[in-house]
Amino acid sequence: MSAAREEILARIQKAKAGAEALDYGAIPRHYRHRGALDAEARITLFIERLHDYDATVYRTAAPALAQTIAEALSARGKRRLAIPASLPEAWLPPEFEFVRDDMASGGLSYAELDAIDGAITGCLAAVAFTGTIILRHGKGEARRALTLIPDYHLCVVGTEQLVETLPEAIARVRDFRHSPLTTVSGPSATSDIEMTRVKGVHGPRTLDVVLVG
């Protein structure tokens, strides 16, 4: 074993020993733990943030959800969508084709996901202050590839899932240690050294959000 590697491992062991001795409950946390906005103000802020990120937002009531999804898909010219195995049938308008990504039978290949028109998922929580949607990739939920490979993502967010601040959202996903999470703040985009903005580098170039409730 090289001297450099020995030093790195020794530092890791030392850091771990120090972390185990910490009383995390005693660490002062002066950031805001809860928001102060009422429900409608949270919704307004969330929509404003999503618009800032170039996402399109639809508001609807639960009985009209399938109709609203059909409206969004028609506006984008999407016909064939991948969906997680657990997505409710009531969400799906009959005039479109939906392919369930059932991991019990192997799931869709990366090539199949790349060729499909887009994906539809629900979410675990959403944060109004940052316009962020939190996706969990546990058993029966959308796997990460389903939400990153297709070029289009339609995400259904219930108003009861919307909180104002990130600490409130984290409190709702306390089991995140057992399931990977993806946080989405608008369509995927990045800028190069010349500040040229490019969409679709790390995920879908187009994000539609259907806000239910």
Q: Is the pLDDT of residue 70 over 90?
A: yes
Q: What is the pLDDT of residues 116-173, one digit of tens each?
A: 999 999 999 999 999 999 998 877 678 899 999 999 999 999 999 999 998 898 888 7
Total domains in the fold of the chain: 1
What pLDDT digit, counting tens, does each position of 189-198 carry? 666 676 666 6
pTM over 0.85: no
Is residue 93 pLDDT above 60, yes or no?
A: yes
pLDDT mean over 48-52: 94
Chain-centre distance of CA 138, in angstroms?
A: 13
- For residue 4, tell me if it sits in a domain: no
Reduced to 3 states, what is the DSSP secondary structure of residue 58? strand
Domain presence at residue 88: yes
Strand stretches in the chain, DSSP E = 56-60, 80-84, 97-101, 118-121, 125-127, 132-136, 152-158, 162-163, 181-184, 189-191, 197-199, 206-212
Q: Distance between CA 71 and CA 65 in Å, rounded?
A: 10
Is 6 among the domain residues?
Answer: no
Residue-range definition of the domain harbouring residue 184: 32-212
pLDDT tens column, 35-44: 788 999 999 9
| Nearest CA among 99, 108, 102 for reference residue 81 | 99
Q: What's the chain's average pLDDT?
A: 87
> How much is the average pLDDT of 67-93?
96
Q: Reduce the DSSP state of residue 194 to 3 states and report it.
A: coil
CATH number at residue 186: 3.40.50.10420
- Decide if 12 is inside a domain: no
